Amino acid sequence: MSCEEPTTSPTPENNITVVSSDGKEFLLDLKLTEQSETLARLISNFEYDRTDVKKDPVPLGNITSAQMQKIIEWLQHHRYYPKWEQNDIHYSTSFTFETWVEEYLNIPNNEMFELLNAANYLNIPRLFSTICRIMASRITGKSAEQIRTVLNIKTDVKNDVYTGIPIQEDSSSSEDGMSEISLSPSPPPI
């Protein structure tokens, strides 16, 4: 198991302790923290990679222990992956994922959004980018109505929730937005 219960023994040299918002402590291998730009910078600033420096637990105020657990699972899986490279200009979106990733992200939307937020906060580019792609893959090919469900958007555009007034359209020809072409690209009936 990637995460360990807090121990009372002295902190090993190559670990740091992070504390989730609900007060739970996690011992993190320094090697794993390399994937998080936020943690890596913190460790380098405080010189936590040195054996003679006293390491204080790092509070992660907006990450719950459940999210932390999930994130450590990700870090552990990608421990030996090459460093994440920024997309080059020829980057084109691909909606195919490793089986492991698909299973890992086979979670309710709520959890996914929270995980995305955590990945953004900890600056784990590979995780952040993967979740964005997964979300994009869930939006692509859906109608506006289906997207509202996917994105947890409860309000409807047809009548503004606050005013009750129908929303002004760009194109008078359709009930919402463009001439529906909008091309609502849901797959045609087979």
Partner 1 sequence: MSVMSLIDFPSVVLHKVLNELDLFSILTLRKVSHGLRSFIDESTQSNFPPKIRLELNEEFILLELDTKTIQYEKHQCQVVWKKDSEDWSRGKSKMFEEENFEELFLKDFAIILKLNNSREIECFELEIQDIDSKIDIISSEFKAKEVILKVSEPDQVLKYLPFFDAGILEKLVLIEAVMQEEEDEEKDKERFDLSRISKLPQFKQAKNIEVQGLNVPPKIENFLHFSTVKVYFESVPYQEVFLLKEKFATSSTLTRFEIFFDYITDDEQLDVVLGESFKELDDGLHGQERWFFGISNCPEIVELVITTMGSIAYSRVNRDSVPGGANGCWVTWSKADVPSEQFQIVSDKNVMECCLEDLQLVMKHHRTGVLQSVWFQNSEGSERSDCMEKLVASNAILHAKKVSFYRYSLKNMLKCLPSLDADTLENISVLGKSKSSGTNEAAWNKLVKLEQWKKAESADFTQAGFTPQIQDLLHFSKT
In the block, tokens 């405080």 appear at: 46
Question: Is 46 a binder of partner 1 (CB under 8 A)?
Answer: no
> Scanning residues 140 to 179, which ones bind partner 1 (CB under 8 A)?
140-144, 147-148, 151-155, 157, 160, 167, 170-174, 176-179
Binding mask 54-93 for partner 1 (x = CB under 8 A): ---------------------------------------x
Query: Minimum CB separation from partner 1 for residue 103, in Å?
Result: 20
CB of 4 or CB of 22, closer to partner 1: 22
Whole-number Å distance between alpha carbons of 125 and 118: 11
Say which residues have a Cβ less than 8 Å from residue 6's Cβ, sequence separation at least 6.
17, 24, 25, 26, 27
Question: Is 40 a binder of partner 1 (CB under 8 A)?
Answer: no
β-bridge pairing 25-29 and 15-19? antiparallel
Please select the residue that binds partner 1; options are 5, 110, 164, 165, rule is CB under 8 A.
Answer: 110
Backbone angles phi, psi at 12, to 5 degrees: -60, 155
Whole-number Å distance between alpha carbons of 73 and 1: 8
CB atoms within 10 A of CB 132: 14
Query: Minimum CB separation from partner 1 for residue 83, in Å?
Result: 19
Query: Minimum CB separation from partner 1 for residue 99, in Å?
Result: 20
Q: Is 30 exposed, middle or buried (0-12, 13-18, 19+ CB in 10 A)?
A: middle
Q: Which residues bind partner 1 (CB under 8 A)?
A: 93, 110, 113-114, 116-117, 120, 128-129, 132-133, 135-137, 139-144, 147-148, 151-155, 157, 160, 167, 170-174, 176-185, 188
